[in-house]
Amino acid sequence: MPGPPQRIVSTSISTDEILLALVPASRVAAVTYLADDPGISNVTELAKPVAGRVRTVTPEALLALNPDLIVAADYGKPEMIKTFREMGIPLYIYHTAVNIREVEDTVRALGTVVQEREKAERLIQSMEQRLQTVQRQVGPLPESKRKRIAYYGSGGFYYMPKSSFQDICRKAGGIDVTEGLVYDKPGVLPQEVLVHLNPDVFMVPAWNYDGNHDPDMMARELLANPAYKETKAVRDKAVVKIPAAHVLSLSQYIVDAVEDLARALYPDRFGKGGTA
């Protein structure tokens, strides 16, 4: 690009969050509508000065925003990508991260694209420093001492190979209880499989996105479900609620999820209020 882009359009909540850490809101023409939802967004305040909102990722909707750069995920429709490239509109396709290192790669790449490399490197450095602090607080743990965590969503307990949640668990001193499973595709675990895995902790993402997914209610239902009564998590009443804006994040805020989970798993290793 001839100069720093001035009308950037973001098409995912992850890039909403990264871009608003790298450039002033005046250089962002639009973020997604999710940026306004505090249940899933960490940038509700930062996004307020941004005029545009992306609700549908179509050529017509994005062109109406008069962008000089569009940032889109690699799971976008190929025909849409082709349309923008044929029209000569700068388009950056980012790789969907599956771990924290890849999130940092995305931050670095976007820093290059928007010509804010130094800010990107400072952001990555901050992420690494915070991760190192968690590691020091939790300390070295043998596999046998790591808490084993099961992720509970609206449809049940989830399995997803190479997920960011696995990396969050590892960095927090735990283990995703599904880590050793091998299935053809992501999905909900059968109850009998979850019981056999016998997790130490159930993790519930806190985001009542439709009014029917209150995390406190979900936690109570889990503990009262007779199918899970023999699991260690139920016997110990070990259900932790982590903000969905953190645990589902594929931006720099993924580090918040590591901190949240580490404090919930090993509160005795952190000071008052869960701080170092």
**pLDDT at residue 81, rounded to an integer:** 80
Output the pLDDT for position 2.
76
- Is 139-274 in CATH node 3.20.20.10? no
Average pLDDT over residues 95-115: 97
At the top level of CATH, which class does the domain 8-127 belong to?
alpha beta
pLDDT recorded at residue 197: 96
pLDDT at res. 272 = 63
pLDDT-derived band at 147, boundaries 50, 70, 90:
very high
Cα–Cα distance between 111 and 94 in angstroms, integer? 12
Q: Do domains 8-127 and 139-274 have the same CATH topology?
A: yes
Nearest to 48 by CA among 72, 67, 69, 28: 28
- Provide the mean pLDDT of the chain: 93
Question: Which contacts of 82-89 are long-range, i.e. CB under 8 A and separated by 24 or more positions?
Answer: 83/59, 84/59, 87/63, 89/63
Higher pLDDT, 32 or 155: 32
**Interval 192-220 mean pLDDT:** 94
Q: Is the predicted pLDDT of residue 16 greater than 60, yes or no? A: yes
Q: Nearest CA to 63 among 92, 91, 99?
A: 91
Residue 26 has pLDDT above 90, yes or no: yes
pLDDT at 276 over 50: no
Q: Note the Cα 245 to chain centre separation in Å.
A: 7
What pLDDT does 261 receive? 98
Share of the chain above pLDDT 70, in %: 98
* Mean pLDDT of the 50-72 span: 93
User: In the chain, what are the domain boundaries?
Assistant: 8-127, 139-274
Which band of pLDDT confidence, cut at 50, 70 and 90, is reported for residue 1? low
